[in-house]
Structure 1
Amino acid sequence: MPTTLKGGGLMLCLYESGTLADIWPLGRVTLSLHSPFLTNTALASAVLADVSYPNTPLVLEDIHLIVNQTVKPLKELAERRTRSISFRNVTTSDEGFIDLLVTLDGVPVTFFSVEDFTLVGVGKWLPAKSADHKSLDEVFVRNPVFIDLFRFLASSQFLFLLQYPSKVSFINSKVCVIPCPTSRLLVNLQYLDLSDNLLTDLTLRETLCRGDGTLKNLRVLNISGNALKSLSTVSQLVDKFYKLTHLDISRNGYTSMPQGCSWPHTLRHLNISRAKLSAVTQCLPTTLEVLDLSNNDLKSFLLFLPALRELHLSGNKFLSLPHGWLFPNLQTLMIQSNTLNMFGRSDLQSYRRLQSLQAGQNKFVCSCDFVHFLQSVIKDTADVQITDREESYVCDSPLELQGEVVGRVGLSYVECHQDLVVSLSCGVALCVALLVCVLLWRCHAFWYLKMIWAWLKAKRSSKRRRRRDRAGSEALLPYDAFVSYSERDASWVENFLIPELEEPSESREDSMNARSPRPLTLCLHKRDFLPGHWIMDNIMSAIESSRRTIFILSENFVQSDWCRYELDFSHFWLFDGSAGQESAILILLEPLSQDDIPKRFCKLRKLMSSTTYLEWPQEEERYGEFWKRLHKALRAEEEEDDD
């Protein structure tokens, strides 16, 4: 049961012996007896007598050990064979320290600690040399203040205290060097802590006797927080420490790592954190089991360490996890506060034995894969366990998720499967486009678009031509009719139509009229189209220059592309306002109903439903009636003018 008792000055001016004696067991006792040690040593002795036991660590705070009188209460510790004694915030002199050593003569003290103590003296402790302190195993000194530092005597005055301990710590003690002869006296030393002192590469060489293996039993060496700059020097100095397993050289000024170093083959733990290293080389020993390179400037790690079990890389500049095949036995990886964007299952699977991971406080890109993976790891559904706080995994991007804890981010299916959604959307759009194209093809929309484009071009040429030919007044049309027919029906046009309309017979009934009918002028593509001109321009010009357009309809006509152009151009011309509503005359050479005409010929079907057409009779005796009706249709405007 830990017990703390603080009494001093007016706080403890009276104590009845045996008051604290019944408290048992005592795990640890801390006493602050500043005033009793100075003015009432009997009271201090009574308190110490009640709380001192061989196996109970005792801590004495805020006391002065200046003269023999102030040391007298400590005789209670000697009588009760206390083994662990610590002093905090203590002031002593050479006389007081000698009396303390003499008082503890023969006492089996194994641990002796002094923290924040002030020495008013110069280290003349040799008179206590005869005192027996062979049981002393560990000496711990931290934050000492030497009033007369420059008068402090050589270590030869207290060397008798250094030959026994196996653990020695001088922390923040302004130690700049330990002479090699002094180091040679540390024959039992296994643990040496010289952290936060003033050691340099040169003075360390003297302290470790130039690496001759003087400290042959040393297992742990801590020289962190000094002014060391050369890793090569350190490795050479400890190379012959054949029992060394732990080496802490952190918080020094290392800026680079040599390509090769020599280390004792027993070295298992190495700490080079809080330096300025920017690259890792073959200098690191392959025997390491624990390596701490945190808080450096490392960006990559490409060194094979087969025995490594624990790796600390926090506070560097890693963009991704090191390759797992470099560390086949790694169990713990700490890589916090770097510049990691993300990591995934495949990255961790490369670590065959990884069990614990700490990778928080990085700049994570919260993609769907990373969020899903990390949430599964946090929920302990993965082989690797996240051992730092969930709140340390925060999204840095995208912007809408910045600052969100990764474990609490919820992403929709669309956000997480954008490629699939885009692919499906493109597939649907392609199918729709194909369907539309099929429908347009079935409806012959492409043919109509092509025709409209050709008509627009021809129309534009026609307007230029009409502006060029216009001479103040509207010119007379040179043709009575433009004949649109298929080449396969040319024999009927040449043998029947042309002779009848351009060379009317005198025997016809019209000859009985007072005035004979004038011959009609027909526009035929074979005869009247201008050579060298675009066929569309010729068709448009022929339709514009003719009062009527005669369509010779047959199966051959329907199969002719040029006839279809002529039919559509005529239809556009009909509704363009430049021709009358009866400008088109349809002649059926053979029986042809609307159902026989393909649906794509919607204009022809419309004309046949709205315009009276002539059918070429199969009986020869009906030819006269056919020609009479055709002449009447073609001369309708002349008859209106005569009226």
Structure 2
Amino acid sequence: PTGVCDGRSRSLNSIPSGLTAAVKSLDLSSNEITYVSNSDLRRCVNLRTLKLGANEIHTVEEDSFFSLRSLEYLDLSYNRLSNFSSSWFRSLSALKFLNLLGNLYRTLGESSLFSHLPNLRILKVGNSNSFAKIQEKDFAGLTLLEKLEIYAPNLQTYAPKSLKSIQNISHLILHLKQPVLLLEIFVDILSSLEYLELRDTNLNTFHFSEVSTNETNTSIKKFTFRNVQITDKSFNEVLKLFNYVSGGLEVEFDDCTYDGVGDFRTLDTIKFLGDVETLTIRKLHIPQFFLFHDLSNTYSLIGKVKRITIENSKVFLVPCLLSQHLTSLEYLDLSENLMSEETLKNSACEHAWPFLKTLVLRQNRLKSLEKTGEILLTLKNLINLDISKNNFHSMPETCQWPGKMKYLNLSSTRIQSLTRCIPQTLEILDISNNNLDSFSLILPELKELYISRNKLKTLPDASFLPALLVMRISRNIINTFSKEQLDSFQKLKTLEAGGNTFVCSCDFLSFMQGQQAPVRVLIDWPEDYLCDSPSSVRGQRVRDTRLSPSECH
């Protein structure tokens, strides 16, 4: 595109000369540039994006960025800068994004770097070894940030009120090795922060002491703990942070290690978990999983949780009693775990998950559709069921399913044919990526059919699917379709049929290139519609293919 200069990874040791006002975006990342002079960018008055990350820059002259008044994006990360000057940023009033990660500084300098950046929305500061001190004036002048990332695994000093000057932070990412200063930071952001993400922290020694704050107007809506270590004792301490949050809270643990056995006996003293509405756990490592308790201490606290995701964490059972206590649960995702029909029967016992609407059991150890459907009959309110990526292979002639089911995902389950096991109530059916060579089911209420990556030779018969609005049938072995076939789907709004083995006959080409062509409904036209035969036009786009008069008459 005009005005875009891509100079990545060119072994450059300085900024190229001759840059002009025509340049709007300049990417010089991953080079060997060591120095930025005040004349290098002087004529780039229309520059919006400047990427200088992953170089060897140790010096930036005072007025190097002076003429960049339109600059919105500046990346100086992973260089060798040990000091910053506020004069670099003084004229960058349009700047929205600034990345200073991974340089050699211990502090952000003597004066406030960011006080002339009223439009800054995303700021990244810190490094993995030397950055040790946050000072009170560091963030002065910033009032509103969408994202603030502070990479400070070796932080030793945090001056109180340093972050308090920012009136609104949507998302704060803190990389801290130890939790020593966590509470001091937490107090300062209580009233300004919406989403706190803690990364790479060993919380095993974390102890919560009552924070001295009169903040009642807390705006925190979400906590994420990413690659964090935690014990039974410190987990109970972490939960006390939630005491300062009012309203529906979302809590996420991603790739964490739990050095405990689920001993939550002291949880009874914690009454404020009632505000957690959404709990997400991904890739949880429990070294002592064989000693893990039955979670009965949590029963009194989980009644208000509406959404739970526990993914890729070796879950093989949700105890019946636990399921029965999840009385507000509407959404449960247990993807990539070890659930089988035997354990699912215990989990979905009578009165389990009474208000559950969506259940995701993608990539578990289910083998029988018949048993799975029967087990789930206890879930009277179930509407959406995802059992994709289980190995069902075959489908029985008939099945029983919860009466309200509208959505069923059976993609990537190795099924080879369809039977009346599929519930008649469905509005959405996903059977993509299987071994199906035909579709002859009558589904009177079906609005969306996803059947890509199978072995179908023709479109399904429209009379089987009178309500169909959306059909995705790409990457099958369909040779052709006609105007009459498409017209028979009277309500069809969206069709994705690219990636098939089209025989580019004269009739097919004249239909697809003519006035009556269905381009209005084809969402992947024309890129994915290629001729497979005759061999003379193989690989050409259907839209552009011309056959000689002799081939057509």
When the two structures are superposed, what TM-score results if normalisation uses the length of structure 2? 0.69
Q: 1:369 to 1:58 in 2, by over 3 A?
A: farther
1:582-612 Cα distance to aligned partner (Å, 9 max, x none): xxxxxxxxxxxxxxxxxxxxxxxxxxxxxxx
Instruction: Output the CA distance in 2 between the equivalents of 1:202 and 1:243.
Output: 22
Structure 1 segment 21-420 matched on structure 2, within 5 A = 22-36=141-155, 37-38=176-177, 41-42=180-181, 44=182, 48=186, 51-53=189-191, 56-69=194-207, 80-105=218-243, 107-108=245-246, 110-131=249-270, 132-209=272-349, 212-376=350-514, 381-382=517-518, 384-388=520-524, 390-416=526-552, 418=553
Instruction: Output the CA distance in 2 between the equivalents of 1:271 and 1:408.
Output: 36
| Conservation of the 8 A alpha-carbon contact between 1:17 and 1:50 | no
> Which consecutive residues of structure 1, in runs of 5 or more, have no partner in the other structure?
419-643
| Conservation of the 8 A alpha-carbon contact between 1:165 and 1:189 | yes
Q: 1:40 to 1:314 in 2, by over 3 A?
A: closer
Letter in 1 for 2:534: P
| Conservation of the 8 A alpha-carbon contact between 1:278 and 1:298 | yes
| Conservation of the 8 A alpha-carbon contact between 2:180 and 2:206 | no
Instruction: Output the CA distance in 1 between the equivalents of 2:152 and 2:319.
Output: 38
Residue 80 of structure 2: aligned partner:
none
Instruction: Output the CA distance in 1 between the equivalents of 2:137 and 2:129.
Output: 21
Residue 135 of structure 2: aligned partner:
16
| Conservation of the 8 A alpha-carbon contact between 1:337 and 1:361 | yes
Residue 629 of structure 1: aligned partner:
none
Q: 1:384 to 1:178 in 2, by over 3 A?
A: same
| Conservation of the 8 A alpha-carbon contact between 1:30 and 1:59 | no
Q: 1:152 to 1:34 in 2, by over 3 A?
A: farther
Identity %: 31
Instruction: Output the CA distance in 2 between the equivalents of 1:39 and 1:284.
Output: 53
Residue 596 of structure 1: aligned partner:
none
Instruction: Output the CA distance in 2 between the equivalents of 1:308 and 1:362.
Output: 23
Structure 1 segment 379-528 matched on structure 2, within 5 A = 381-382=517-518, 384-388=520-524, 390-416=526-552, 418=553
Instruction: Output the CA distance in 2 between the equivalents of 1:329 and 1:15.
Output: 61
Structure 1 segment 461-610 matched on structure 2, within 5 A = none
Q: What secondary structure sits across from 2:224 in the alignment?
A: strand
| Conservation of the 8 A alpha-carbon contact between 1:174 and 1:198 | yes
Instruction: Output the CA distance in 2 between the equivalents of 1:385 and 1:95.
Output: 58
Letter in 2 for 1:159: Y
CA drift at 1:107: 2.6
CA drift at 1:93: 1.6
Instruction: Output the CA distance in 2 between the equivalents of 1:166 and 1:366.
Output: 52
CA drift at 1:343: 1.1
| Conservation of the 8 A alpha-carbon contact between 1:365 and 1:398 | yes
1:16-74 Cα distance to aligned partner (Å, 9 max, x none): 236447544444555544333446844x55655555546622222221211135x6799
Q: 1:366 to 1:224 in 2, by over 3 A?
A: same
Q: What secondary structure sits across from 1:137 in the alignment?
A: strand
Q: What secondary structure sits across from 1:387 in the alignment?
A: coil
| Conservation of the 8 A alpha-carbon contact between 1:9 and 1:34 | yes
Instruction: Output the CA distance in 2 between the equivalents of 1:220 and 1:98.
Output: 30
Instruction: Output the CA distance in 1 between the equivalents of 2:369 and 2:445.
Output: 22
Q: What secondary structure sits across from 1:141 in the alignment?
A: strand
Letter in 1 for 2:316: C
CA drift at 1:191: 0.6
1:558-595 Cα distance to aligned partner (Å, 9 max, x none): xxxxxxxxxxxxxxxxxxxxxxxxxxxxxxxxxxxxxx
| Conservation of the 8 A alpha-carbon contact between 2:273 and 2:302 | no
Residue 98 of structure 2: aligned partner:
none
Instruction: Output the CA distance in 2 between the equivalents of 1:77 and 1:360.
Output: 61
Letter in 1 for 2:541: V
CA drift at 1:120: 1.4
Letter in 1 for 2:250: F
Q: What secondary structure sits across from 2:269 in the alignment?
A: coil
Q: What secondary structure sits across from 1:329 in the alignment?
A: coil
Instruction: Output the CA distance in 1 between the equivalents of 2:146 and 2:245.
Output: 20
More helix as a share of residues: 1
| Conservation of the 8 A alpha-carbon contact between 2:519 and 2:525 | no
Instruction: Output the CA distance in 2 between the equivalents of 1:300 and 1:180.
Output: 40
Q: What secondary structure sits across from 1:134 in the alignment?
A: helix
Residue-pair matches, total = 411
1:186-225 Cα distance to aligned partner (Å, 9 max, x none): 111111111110011111111111xx34222000000110
1:516-562 Cα distance to aligned partner (Å, 9 max, x none): xxxxxxxxxxxxxxxxxxxxxxxxxxxxxxxxxxxxxxxxxxxxxxx
CA drift at 1:290: 0.8
CA drift at 1:351: 0.5
| Conservation of the 8 A alpha-carbon contact between 2:191 and 2:215 | no
Q: 1:3 to 1:369 in 2, by over 3 A?
A: same
Q: 1:25 to 1:64 in 2, by over 3 A?
A: same
Q: What secondary structure sits across from 2:371 in the alignment?
A: helix
Instruction: Output the CA distance in 2 between the equivalents of 1:61 and 1:38.
Output: 8
Instruction: Output the CA distance in 1 between the equivalents of 2:454 and 2:440.
Output: 15
Instruction: Output the CA distance in 1 between the equivalents of 2:330 and 2:492.
Output: 32
1:215-251 Cα distance to aligned partner (Å, 9 max, x none): 2200000011001011111211222422211110110
| Conservation of the 8 A alpha-carbon contact between 2:511 and 2:517 | no
CA drift at 1:366: 1.0
Q: What secondary structure sits across from 1:300 in the alignment?
A: coil
| Conservation of the 8 A alpha-carbon contact between 2:433 and 2:453 | yes
Instruction: Output the CA distance in 1 between the equivalents of 2:239 and 2:447.
Output: 45
Instruction: Output the CA distance in 1 between the equivalents of 2:142 and 2:514.
Output: 52
1:310-355 Cα distance to aligned partner (Å, 9 max, x none): 1000111100000111111111110111111111111111111111
| Conservation of the 8 A alpha-carbon contact between 1:33 and 1:60 | no
Pair member with larger Rg: 1
Q: 1:280 to 1:77 in 2, by over 3 A?
A: farther
Q: 1:33 to 1:158 in 2, by over 3 A?
A: farther
Q: 1:149 to 1:214 in 2, by over 3 A?
A: closer
Letter in 1 for 2:352: T
Instruction: Output the CA distance in 1 between the equivalents of 2:212 and 2:282.
Output: 25
Instruction: Output the CA distance in 2 between the equivalents of 1:77 and 1:118.
Output: 34
Residue 20 of structure 2: aligned partner:
none
Q: 1:353 to 1:365 in 2, by over 3 A?
A: same
Q: What secondary structure sits across from 2:379 in the alignment?
A: coil
Instruction: Output the CA distance in 1 between the equivalents of 2:473 and 2:536.
Output: 26
